[in-house]
């Protein structure tokens, strides 16, 4: 399936979570057998080209796409978790949200020093979570230079923020507006 075919599988929900927002619901793509498989292969091709030795995905939909990409490539997956979810000692990073703060954590033994890790997530909006994940993985010794997304919301400038931070950013599709 082409990327344009995949774009038609993403449902748009108006006025969610608040009036004026067009929510891009990727669950309809995930639920489409051929569409999900094609999106994973498109992402895996890009991750291979980036020299990925492992894939990292942020909770929660980054786990769906990232783990599937890692499996398709035959490499490991590093889950970037919300706080308090891992049963072992972790390292973490706090980061700013639009209204408040949040935290991401990883098991530092899941990353080898110098390992090339590619970030994979379903959607890039403002870029805060992806920037924090890259910082966290780098603090564990990984080399993180690429971030891959299914959807980019370019009007929110997240991809530009990641590029300004030295990351190569690719998305399978974009949706103007927010």
Give the 3-state secondary structure of residue 41: helix
CA 153 – CA 76 distance, rounded (Å): 28
What pLDDT, on the 0 to 100 scale, is given for residue 96?
A: 87
pLDDT at 178 over 70: no
- Start-to-end Cα distance in the chain: 26
- The DSSP symbol for 39 reads H
**pTM of the predicted protein model:** 0.96
Reported as a single tens digit per residue, the pLDDT across 98-155 is 678 999 999 999 999 999 999 999 999 999 999 999 999 999 999 999 999 999 999 9
Query: Which one of 4, 33, 98, 101 is the catalytic residue?
Result: 98
Reported as a single tens digit per residue, the pLDDT across 65-101 is 999 999 999 999 999 999 999 999 999 999 987 678 9
Instruction: State the average pLDDT over residues 13-34.
Output: 95
What pLDDT, on the 0 to 100 scale, is given for residue 160?
A: 97
CA torsion angle 63 120 101 81 (round to 10): 30
What pLDDT, on the 0 to 100 scale, is given for residue 177?
A: 72
Query: Which one of 48, 61, 103, 163 is the catalytic residue?
Result: 61
- Say if CB 173 and CB 35 are below 8 A apart: no
| Strands ordered across the beta sheet of 54-58 | 76-80, 54-58, 116-124, 143-152, 168-174
Q: Report CA 6 to chain centroid distance, whole Å.
A: 17
Q: Verify whether residue 61 is a known catalytic residue.
A: yes
The structural architecture, per CATH, of the domain 3-174 is 3-Layer(aba) Sandwich (3.40)
């Amino acid at each position: 399936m082409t990327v344009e075919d995949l774009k038609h599988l993403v449902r748009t929900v108006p006025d969610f979570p608040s009036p004026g927002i067009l929510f891009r619901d990727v669950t309809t793509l995930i639920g489409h057998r051929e569409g999900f498989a094609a999106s994973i292969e498109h992402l895996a091709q890009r991750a291979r080209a980036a020299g990925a030795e492992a894939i990292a995905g942020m909770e929660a939909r980054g786990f769906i796409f990232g783990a599937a990409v890692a499996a398709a490539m035959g490499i490991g997956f590093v889950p970037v978790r919300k706080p308090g979810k891992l049963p072992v000692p972790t390292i973490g990073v706090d980061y700013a949200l639009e209204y408040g703060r949040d935290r991401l954590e990883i098991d530092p033994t899941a990353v080898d020093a110098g390992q090339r890790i590619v970030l994979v997530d379903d959607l890039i909006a403002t870029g805060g979570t992806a920037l924090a994940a890259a910082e966290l993985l780098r603090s564990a010794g990984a080399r993180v230079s690429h971030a891959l997304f299914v959807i980019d919301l370019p009007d929110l400038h997240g991809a530009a923020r990641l590029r300004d931070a030295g990351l190569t950013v690719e998305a399978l599709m974009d949706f103007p507006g927010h």
